[in-house]
Amino acid sequence: MTATPLIWHGKYVLVLVRWISPSLEYGIRSYARETDWMLLFPRLQFSVGDGIKHVDGLIMLLYEDEVVSTRKLFPDAKIVDIRGTRGLSSDAVVHPDNARIGVMAADYFYAKGFRSFMGISPRKESIMDTRLRSFARRVRELGCDVAIESGEGWFYDPKRVVEHFERYLRKRVQPLAIFTPGDFMATVVVQAVQILGYRIPEQISVLGVNNDRIFCETSKVPISSIDEDLTLVGYEAARTLDALMGGKSVKKRTLISPLKVHERHSTSREHSADSLANAILVYIRDHFSEKISIEELCRHVGASRSLANSRFRKIMGRTIGDEIERVRMEYGQSLLRKTDYKVDAVARLCGYENTSAFCRRFRRNIGLTPGAFREKEQVQ
C-alpha cells in the first residue's frame, strides 16, 4: 500500500535561545497556537545548526561570543533576533528597550529619595552597557552623583567580589542605590553587601532586571527587579516572524518598554514581611496570563484555601481573586497603550479565553471599554 504524500502548507519554526524565562516562552507559544506552525523549542544544550534540514523561520537569542553565520546555516529562513545581539544577521529585531530600563531604574531610586547612585556589571557587553549608560545619564540629568563600576576579571571570584565592594562602598555616600543590569548580578551584590555588614535597604538598596523569581525570591534578601515584559517580547517576536514568513514588510527593530519595578525587600522597608502573602503575590505575578486555579495556587504556596484567603485579605486588604483581576487589568491597560493588538489578543495575554468576559471586567474596573480606553490614551 502506497503512503499518501504529505500535503501541509504550514510553517516549520524553530526557537533557538541560550536563556529562557517562562514569560518569554509563554508569549511565543501564545501567538504560535493561533497559527499553522510546527513549533520546536529545544533547550540550552542544543547546538546552533545541529541536524536542521529545513526551517521556515527562527526566533533567536544568542550571546555575542557565540554569533554564528545564520545566513549560511539557514539560507531560506526568516530570522527574528530577540536580544539585539551585535553581529547577528537577522530580518528583524524585537527586544526590550534597554535604554528605558536604565531610565526606569534611575527614576525609581530618585523617587524613593536616593541621591547617591552606583551601577555595576560583571563584563563589558552591549546590552548591559546600554542599560548602565542610560542609568548614569538619567541620574546626572536629575543632578545627582553616580559611579559606574566594571567587574571585568573579578566578578565571578567570591573573595575578590567582597574585597572590591569593601573599597567601593567605603568611598560612596549612604544611603546608596545600586543598579545591576541583571538579577544574577544583584544576588552577588546583595551577598557581598551583607558580608560587609551593611543593612539592606536602609544603607544599601539593590535593584536588578528580569524579575527572575529563581534569583529574586531565593536571595537572603528578596531582590526588587525591573520587569522587562518578556511575555510581550515573545508574542511580538512571533507576530513579526509570522508577518515575515507571509511576505509582509515589518519594522526592522521593535523595542518593548519595560513594564514596572516589582518591589521586594532589597529596596523597600514597606514591603510586606508576611511570607504567605508574598508567595501568593509572586504566584499571581508569574501566572496571571494563564488560567489560575485557586486550588493550584494554594497547593503551590503550601496553605489551605481558608488560610490563604484570610491571611491575604488581612495583609493586602483585598481577596486573592481581586488581586488576580487587578494584575490582569493593569497588564491589559499596558498592552492597549503600547500595542495595536486586537482586543482578542489582549484578552488572551491577560489570561482570559473569553474576550467578552475580559471586556466586561475591564469596563467594570476601568470604567471604559478596551477600545474606548485605547482611543483615550492615543489622544493624550
As a three-state string, the secondary structure of 322-348 is: HHHHHHHHHHHHHHHHHCCCCHHHHHH
Q: Which of 105, 162, 159, 154 is nearest to 128 (CA)?
A: 105
Across residues 223-251, what is the average pLDDT? 96
Confidence of residue 204 (pLDDT cuts 50, 70, 90): very high
Mean pLDDT estimate for the chain: 89
Confidence of residue 74 (pLDDT cuts 50, 70, 90): confident
Distance CA 246, CA 248 (A): 6
Distance CA 256, CA 233 (A): 6
- DSSP label of 252: S
> pLDDT tens, 311-361?
999 988 999 999 999 999 999 999 999 899 999 999 999 999 899 999 999
Distance CA 275, CA 278 (A): 5
Whether residue 178 contacts residue 204, with contact meaning beta carbons closer than 8 Å, is answered with yes
Q: How many CB atoms lie within 10 A of CB 306?
A: 9
Going from the C-alpha of 58 to that of each of 35, 39, 253, the distances in angstroms are 15, 10, 16
Q: What is the pLDDT of residue 380?
A: 67
pLDDT at residue 48 is higher than 80: no
Distance CA 172, CA 78 (A): 49
Q: What is the pLDDT of residue 50?
A: 59
- Domains of the chain: residue spans and CATH: 11-95+230-256 (3.40.50.2300), 98-227 (3.40.50.2300), 272-379 (1.10.10.60)
Q: What is the pTM of this model?
A: 0.86
pLDDT at residue 185 is higher than 60: yes
Q: Which of 130, 32, 151 is nearest to 85 (CA)?
A: 130
Backbone angles phi, psi at 124, to 5 degrees: -80, 120
Burial group, residue 116, by CB count within 10 angstroms (0-12, 13-18, 19+):
middle
- DSSP label of 218: T
Q: What is the pLDDT of residue 1?
A: 55
Whether residue 31 contacts residue 239, with contact meaning beta carbons closer than 8 Å, is answered with yes
Least confident of 60-74, 112-126, 251-265, 301-315: 60-74
Q: What is the pLDDT of residue 170?
A: 87
Q: What is the pLDDT of residue 44?
A: 53
Q: What is the pLDDT of residue 148?
A: 92
> pLDDT tens, 277-314?
888 988 898 889 888 888 999 999 999 999 999 999 99
Q: What is the pLDDT of residue 96?
A: 95
> pLDDT tens, 77-105?
999 999 887 777 889 999 999 999 999 99
Whose cell is 474596573? That residue is 365
Which residues does residue 155 pair with via DSSP β-bridges, in sequence order?
none
| Cα 177 off chain centre by | 21
- For residue 318, give the C-alpha cell: 483585598
Whether residue 229 contacts residue 96, with contact meaning beta carbons closer than 8 Å, is answered with yes
Q: What is the pLDDT of residue 230?
A: 93
Across residues 63-82, what is the average pLDDT? 79
Three-state DSSP class for residue 93: strand
